[in-house]
Amino acid sequence: MVAMTRAARAALLAPAALAALATTACLSTPAYEPPPSALTFGDDTGGGGGASVSAEGFVLHFAGGSGFHFPDVHAVDGTNIIGRDTTAPCYAEDGVGLVLFPTPRISALTGALVTTSQITATMRGPAVTQVRIDWSSQFVCSNNHPGGSSLYTVFLDGRIVRHDSLDDQTTAQTSSLACACDANHNQGFQIASYWTFNPAAFSTLTVPGSTNGPIPLPKDPLMPFRSPNFYVGCLDAGSYQVGFAWSTSTDVAGTPTIVATPTQVVFSRERTGGFVSTFDPLLWGTNDAVFVEHTGCKKALERASEHAQPSSLSVGGKPIAVSLVNGIYAGDPGQGGVPGKPGVKLPPGRVELTGPVGSSFAVWLQFTSGVDAVRAQLAGKTGAWYVLQRIDATSWIAWFRDPLMAGETIAIETL
């Protein structure tokens, strides 16, 4: 779990201390100032267009240059765990991105035509950093203009929630034969969102239900490991682990698959269960998450399972769902969701959070009027067990480091 400095711990207690001082002096509550945090965002130096999100023990880097700004480095304890297979076909998974089979993949390294490529930091900590990748392309074989956005919401403890939204509303019939970047593979269209990991960085893979426990990663290319329909998994490097999860929500269409070979480990989700004859119209959204862990695959799988099948957090006695867009309770509802701003609507004052919630979590609070300071209290908790992040005059995100156990109550108070 993320360790914080004494300065960060003291800063978390600052709102309460400042409020007491303000009351004594009959002054208004000072404006909120974020505490120091290990979670940071930074643009690449030299104007290359890339950027990085980092915290203790990990860095997620988004590619610069003239290509698509998808991640090209996810370093854990100094090791880049993203897969890079130079022998991968033009249409196949490599790095992190999207497959629009049989056309070239959409990733940091691709032969696809780049018509739009933009990277924007929409939140910059201290608890949550969010990076949005907007992209579009043009098929060389037709008038199709596939495009969309990929949103990466990074939390202080190494949880990364990814949401892809794809759109192409061209109605003309498009031939997969004419669009194939490899003429030997053109049996139809297939859309997938994926992460690949470097098998050299890990020794075993664990998926729920395996009767043999951790599975050694394959060394023989003729004997790959393939596991469809598992929604969580864990790669073990010994000193650290990487968990993975797809949401099981019926609001997210697609079939998850884990494939491990000697050259890459692929976690992917297809829009359909196989190849389709036409590409259009394309409208699809996905949701997945990656977890950095240092205490073993058991903990990593617990965190992953919480994402796949999230608990219901109660705020003021009302059950609140997790956003499929950013993994925050009452977060961005996304397309087709509840209109308006994210957040649980609350009057200033006191509200109670109850669970249970089986992992660290964040909740988005939207007060009905401006709030200058917020604090949280839980019996027996001291130190840096939560971090607050102000979004605007009325909106706050509260991130909690630990699971919320049955029978526990977190009190949120405005000051």
In whole angstroms, give the CA distance from residue 397 to residue 82.
30
Residue 143 domain-assigned?
Answer: yes
Residue 42 domain-assigned?
Answer: no
Q: Are 96 and 116 contained in the same domain? A: yes
Residue 357 domain-assigned?
Answer: yes
Residue 1 domain-assigned?
Answer: no
Q: Are 302 and 381 contained in the same domain? A: no
Q: Are 339 and 357 contained in the same domain? A: yes
Q: Are 301 and 317 contained in the same domain? A: no
Q: At 288, which CATH number?
A: 2.70.98.30
Domain count, the chain: 2
Q: Are 297 and 322 contained in the same domain? A: no
SS (H, E, C) 65-86: CCCCCCEEEEEECCEECECCCC
Residue 55 domain-assigned?
Answer: yes
Closest to 276 in 3D by CA, of 187, 160, 366 = 187
Full residue range of the structural domain in which residue 279 is found: 47-307
Residue 2 domain-assigned?
Answer: no
Residue that terminates a domain, selected from 282, 307, 332:
307
Residue that terminates a domain, selected from 256, 273, 307:
307
The β-bridge partners of 395 are: 366
Query: 88 to each of 61, 257, 264, how far by Cα in Å?
Result: 22, 18, 10
- What count of residues does the chain have? 415
pLDDT of residue 339: 53
pLDDT of residue 169: 75
Q: Are 76 and 168 contained in the same domain? A: yes
pLDDT of residue 11: 40
Residue 233 domain-assigned?
Answer: yes
Q: Are 189 and 96 contained in the same domain? A: yes
Q: Are 158 and 233 contained in the same domain? A: yes
Residue that terminates a domain, selected from 307, 323, 354:
307
Q: What averages of pLDDT result for each successive group of 10 residues across the chain (415 residues)?
A: 39 38 44 75 89 95 95 97 92 94 92 94 95 93 89 96 89 78 81 95 88 88 88 96 94 90 94 72 87 96 95 95 95 68 94 96 96 94 92 95 96 95
Q: Are 229 and 339 contained in the same domain? A: no
pTM for the structure as a whole: 0.89
Q: Are 404 and 303 contained in the same domain? A: no
Q: Are 80 and 217 contained in the same domain? A: yes
Residue 401 domain-assigned?
Answer: yes
Q: Are 330 and 218 contained in the same domain? A: no
